[in-house]
Structure 1
Amino acid sequence: MSKPVVAVVGRPNVGKSTLFNALAGEMISIVKDTPGVTRDRIYADVSWLDKEFTLIDTGGIEPESGDVILSQMREQAQIAIDTADVILFLTDVRQGLVDADFKVADMLRRSQKPVVLAVNKVDNFEKFMPDVYEFYNLGIGEPKPISAAGKQGLGDLLDCVADHFPQGLEGEEEDERPRIAIVGKPNVGKSSIINRILGEQRVIVSDVAGTTRDAIDTDVKRGDREYVFIDTAGLRRKNKIKEELERYSIIRTVTAVERADVVLVVIDAAEGVTEQDAKIAGIAHERGKGIILVVNKWDALEKNDRTMREYENELRRILSFMPYAQTMYISALTGQRVEKLFDAIDTVIANQTLRIATGVLNEIVTEAVAMQQPPSDKGKRLKIYYITQVSVKPPTFVIFVNDKELMHFSYTRYLENKIREAFGFGGTSLRFFVRERKEK
């Protein structure tokens, strides 16, 4: 089941980043070997009590004239409305209520999405409460007083946010159909692939405010299997500055990936793999999704007998953090190998949900340990007691050892390779947790 998405919206200097950092705080895990992950900190995974959600910061606004601020606020609110399950609207008790707040509140109210109103910079609840009550005038419910800098009131705020999370997501639970997200830079041919799969020119909704994310799910039936394709191509804003567009598309990518089982990362054959591709693939890798690298427009390349091998090597070099990803070379234009995508998707889904018996796993690990001694430090050697698989999507394993400190990253990687040699697990990342057990 996908995690709910919470987006933060607010005027300049009301403390959006402070709140973002207070909530994501130390819990933001930056995966070291994934390129470009959360350098710009657009999103973070947050857990509150037993709930997990993805927090999105919809962007900074340059303080200029009132009009510019207002149009950027609208833009932000639109991103939040398009992508979020819950919108966190942040205001500032010291600046008080301003015109822009009313206009954004108006948009948010019309969106029919749940909105939680937070009033920031309330360091002294007694003193500022009368000013907080003023925010009732926005007409979007009860204002929650918080201090992001002092980390006060955040618990109540999160309780309130979590109350709006979809309960057991009606319809989602029974929906066992695999969800496939098609992601990639603009113009790599994401919609052409969907159209080719559907065998018809579907109308792509563009430049229409309020194109919700639900409108871009496409049901596809093939043989007796059904799939849901999540397409991120729907919205392309004209006249957007490149950075803003990039930020917007990353937010859209995160929300699509969050809801998917398998992610098709589409790459333009002629352009080769770019840093932006690596960033997008990194999001899917971080989230432990099934991944297929789809090189589109393959028909447009001049080829000889080495082309594919050289291309594959280059892909593997740049995306070295995900050696397990499957690759497909297709052309949405001519339809070359598009049908084969389904076989690849089915394989990856099977691998994502593969469960391995504990006995078999331990045999493999015992053999691996015999072939390559575990690391030791100051005369103390790592002992691996046993390994067991605890969950799927992605397959997740717990390894019990005598001393966690001795379990080097490289040795975990070695064991992963041995497990992959035995079971393949193509197209899916594997997660390993190391637990310590004192010797009896």
Structure 2
Amino acid sequence: MPLPIVAVIGRPNVGKSTLVNRLAGGRDAIVHDQPGVTRDRTYRNAFWGDRDFQVVDTGGLVFDDETEFLPFIREQALSALSEARAAVFVVDGQAGLTDGDREIANWLRQHPVPVVLAVNKCESPTEGLALAAEFWELGLGEPYPVSGIHGNGTGELLDLLVTHLPPPEEIETEPETKIAIVGRPNVGKSSLLNAFVGENRAIVSPISGTTRDPIDTLIQHGDNRYRLIDTAGIRKKKNVEYGPEFFGINRAFKAIRRSDVVLFVVDALDGVTEQDQKLAGRIEDEGRACIVVVNKWDAVEKDSHTIYEYEKDLKNRLYFVNWAPMIFVSAKTGKRVENILALVDTAIEQYRRRVSTAVINEVLEEALRWHTPPTNRQGRQGKIYYGTQVSSEPPTIALFVNDPKRFNDNYRRYIERHFRTELGFEGTPIRFLWRGKKARDVESPGSNRAIRV
């Protein structure tokens, strides 16, 4: 059985995301003094006592308005409630009982999910009980005064909440591959997520900035589990104002950092922009495996040569990740979307791969035979003594040399190309550490001699 889910429900701006951050022990959910910041449902791992569970943050519920994203937010909240073992209904103790609270309470009574009533913004322990008393009228049991900001009362709330969750022995956790879906606004990231899961998991809209919080979704494909993380579209820094979009982009960068593989989504109609190139550099800097997903391929006029010319142009422009495999898809029609996970499996295998020192040095010796290291103006030549892989995720190879300064960028790129040609490593960056050491102190492992040029 996967981790049980707890849905957090309430009106806009009652402090749901603040309470989610408190329950999950972090600050991943975006909190801003503006209604409607949270739109999609977002999942966070949490625990209390001996119980592990997931908390689902949802958008603010309004039933008498059909403007902009509100119908989609209601759909997302309903989806969260349908998969939940329990719900936390958050109300605003400072604002008091409202008609909107009554509407949500009536809606919750139509679902067979146990509800815990949290009266938020009760920072004062003495006044909290008085503020909460008004909410007995909702008929959902005892209202618990809490403070999402300061944590007051959350322990008592969690004590009651975990009584509705299954015991730990019924829960099994399996290893999973974390996949971040990143790209500029409106390239189809949320559509791609929905195509993976076969439902409207994320709100899709032509309005830029629809997705704000990172959206975690678990899927099973064969024997493998994947956590898909949809992220906010990343625009140029100068175009981003402080507020929900600013926080969303920061969360997107954090999603890259906590992922194993990045699906870098590019718009086939727009081609590669300057912002795409900066994002490619960010992915390479973070050392993450990568798949370039060219979306909206169905909208491109093409012949039998188009895809090859397009791929060549993209690899030239996305030179930071020219080692990443490329796939042309349509999230709208679902074409080739299912093939992405096969590329992810290959990339993650290479990302975690370890190569023996003996093989590293065989490849290195061959590279040196084909192209000797450069010689400086004083006639001093670079020498590579031996290499060994020191870590994976991403593969990192230490090369012991006489002087790292004697190896220019062109030669370093040549070494990387040769290693990729001989060993593959498709879909993952390779790190090379050029370490200076005196020739007399270094010998190749398993050999009586150093590698000489």
> With structure 2 as the length reference, what TM-score do the two structures score?
0.55
Question: Counterpart of 1:392 in structure 2: which amino acid?
Answer: S
* Amino acid of the structure 1 residue aligned with 2:357: T
Find the aligned partners of 1:364 and 1:193 in 2 and give their Cα distance: 39
Alignment-derived partner of residue 190 in structure 1: 189
The percentage of aligned residue pairs carrying the same residue is 45
Equivalent pair of 2:387/2:398 in contact (CA under 8 Å) = yes
2:356 partner amino acid: A
The answer to whether the 8 A contact 1:398-1:435 is kept is: yes
Amino acid paired to 1:259: R
1:402 paired to 2:402? yes
Aligned equivalent of 1:268: 267
Query: Which residue matches 2:439?
Result: 439
Cα 1:403–1:203 change in 2 (3 A) is closer
SS class of match (1:422): helix
SS of match in other structure, 1:427: coil
Asked whether the equivalents of residues 261 and 290 of structure 2 are also in contact (C-alpha less than 8 Å), the reply is yes
Do the aligned residues in 2 keep the contact of 1:205 with 1:235 (CA within 8 Å)? no
In structure 1, C-alpha distance between the alignment counterparts of 2:241 and 2:298, rounded to whole Å: 32
| CA offsets 1:77-106 (integer angstroms, 9 cap, x no match) | x89xx9x9xxxxxxxxxxxxxxxxxxxxx9
CA offset digits 1:45-102 (Å, max 9, x no partner): xxxxxxxxxxxxx9xxxxxxxxxxxxx9857xx89xx9x9xxxxxxxxxxxxxxxxxx
Aligned to 1:373: 372
Contact 2:266–2:272 (Cα < 8 Å) also in 1: yes
Alignment partner, residue 48 of structure 1: none
1:317-371 CA deviation, whole Å, 9 max, x = no partner?
Answer: 2112222011000001111101100101001001101111000110110111011
Do the aligned partners of residues 318 and 235 (structure 1) sit closer, same or farther apart at CA in structure 2, a change above 3 Å counting?
closer
2:277–2:320 contact (8 Å) kept in structure 1 = no
Helix, strand or coil at the partner of 1:339: helix
Q: 1:203: how far off? A: 4.9
The question of whether the paired residues in 2 share the 8 Å contact of 1:179 and 1:261 is answered with yes
- Which residue type is aligned with residue 240 of structure 2? E
Partner of 1:279: 278
Deviation at 1:406, TM superposition (A): 0.8
The Cα shift of 1:412 comes to 1.6
Counterparts of 2:398 and 2:283, CA distance in 1? 22
Q: Which amino acid in structure 1 is aligned with residue 412 of structure 2? A: T
Alpha carbons 1:289, 1:394 under 8 Å: kept: yes
CA deviations on 1:127-172 (whole Å, 9 max, x unpaired) are xxxxxxxxxxxx979xxxxxxxxxxxxxxxxxxxxxxxxxxxxxxx
Name structure 1 gaps, 5 residues minimum: 1-57, 59-71, 85-105, 112-138, 142-173
* Residue number in structure 1 paired with 2:384: 384
Q: CA RMSD in A?
A: 3.5
| Aligned mates of 2:329, 2:392 — CA distance in 1 | 29
Q: Is the contact made by 2:175 and 2:225 (CA closer than 8 Å) also made in structure 1? A: no
What is the letter of the counterpart of residue 407 of structure 1?
A: F
- Structure 1 residue 269: Cα displacement: 0.9
Cα deviation for residue 201 of structure 1 reads 2.0
- 1:256 maps to which residue? 255
Change over 3 Å in CA distance of 1:226–1:73 after alignment to 2: closer
Segments of 5+ residues of structure 2 without an aligned counterpart are 1-29, 45-93, 95-119, 122-148, 152-172, 441-453
Looking at structure 2, the residues matched to 265 and 184 of structure 1 have their Cα atoms a distance apart, in angstroms, of 6
Residue 244 of structure 1 aligns with which residue? 241
1: distance between equivalents of 2:423 and 2:343?
A: 16
Cα 1:73/1:217, change in 2 over 3 Å: closer
Query: How far apart in 2 are the matches of 1:333 and 1:73?
Result: 32
Q: Is the 8 A contact 2:324 2:428 kept in 1?
A: yes
> Which residue type is aligned with residue 383 of structure 2?
K
Offset, 1:266: 0.7
Question: 1:275 and 1:235 mapped to 2: Cα distance?
Answer: 12
CA distance in 2, matches of 1:203, 1:231: 8
Note if contact 1:250-1:280 (Cα within 8 Å) is conserved in structure 2: no
CA contact (8 A) 2:357 2:387 kept: yes
**2:346 matched residue in structure 1:** 347
Q: Deviations over 1:163-204 (max 9, x none)?
A: xxxxxxxxxxx8631100001111111111111111122253
Q: Is the 8 A contact 1:191 1:233 kept in 2?
A: no
SS in 2 for 1:226: strand
Distance change in 2, residues 1:429/1:347 (3 Å): same
1:394 offset after TM fit, Å? 0.8
TM-score between both structures, scaled by the size of structure 1: 0.57
SS at match of 2:294: strand
Question: Is this contact kept in 1: 2:398–2:432, CA < 8 A?
Answer: yes
Q: CA deviation at 1:402?
A: 1.0
| Residue 180 of structure 1 pairs with residue 163 of structure 2 | no
CA distance in 1, matches of 2:275, 2:250: 13
Alignment partners' CA distance in 1, 2:343 and 2:204: 28
Give the residue type in structure 2 aligned to 1:204.
I
Residue deviations 1:264-297 (CA, integer Å, cap 9, x gap): 0111111111112222222111101011110111
Q: Is the 8 A contact 1:262 1:289 kept in 2?
A: yes
User: Whole-Å Cα distance in 2 between the matches of residues 385 and 426 of structure 1?
Assistant: 26
2-structure distance, mates of 1:235, 1:320: 19
2:231 corresponds in structure 1 to: 232
- Provide the rounded CA distance (Å) in 2 between the counterparts of 1:219 and 1:234: 21
Equivalent position SS for 1:388: strand
Is the contact made by 2:261 and 2:288 (CA closer than 8 Å) also made in structure 1? Answer: yes
Question: 1:419-438 residue pairs with structure 2 within 5 A?
Answer: 419-438=419-438
Q: Is the 8 A contact 2:262 2:291 kept in 1?
A: yes
Q: 1:362 to 1:244 in 2, by over 3 A?
A: same
Matches within 5 A, 1:87-126: none
Structure 1 equivalent of residue 302 of structure 2: 303
What SS does structure 2 have at the residue aligned with 1:376? coil
Separation in structure 1 between the aligned mates of residue 332 and residue 404 of structure 2, nearest angstrom:
52
For residues 33 and 224 of structure 2, what CA distance do their matches in structure 1 show? 41
The residue number in structure 2 matching 1:415 is 415
Deviation of 1:249 after TM superposition, in Å, equals 5.1
Q: Is the 8 A contact 1:204 1:234 kept in 2?
A: no
CA contact (8 A) 1:396 1:432 kept: yes
Structure 2 residue 345 is the aligned partner of structure 1 residue 329 = no
Kindly indicate whether structure 1 or structure 2 has the higher relative contact order, using CA contacts under 8 Å at least 6 residues apart.
1
The alpha-carbon deviation at position 313 of structure 1 amounts to 2.0
CA distance in 1, matches of 2:232, 2:438: 52
- Separation in 1, partners of 2:174, 2:438: 43
Q: Which secondary structure state, in structure 1, belongs to the residue aligned with residue 241 of structure 2? A: helix
Q: Would you say how many aligned residue pairs link Structure 1 and Structure 2?
A: 277
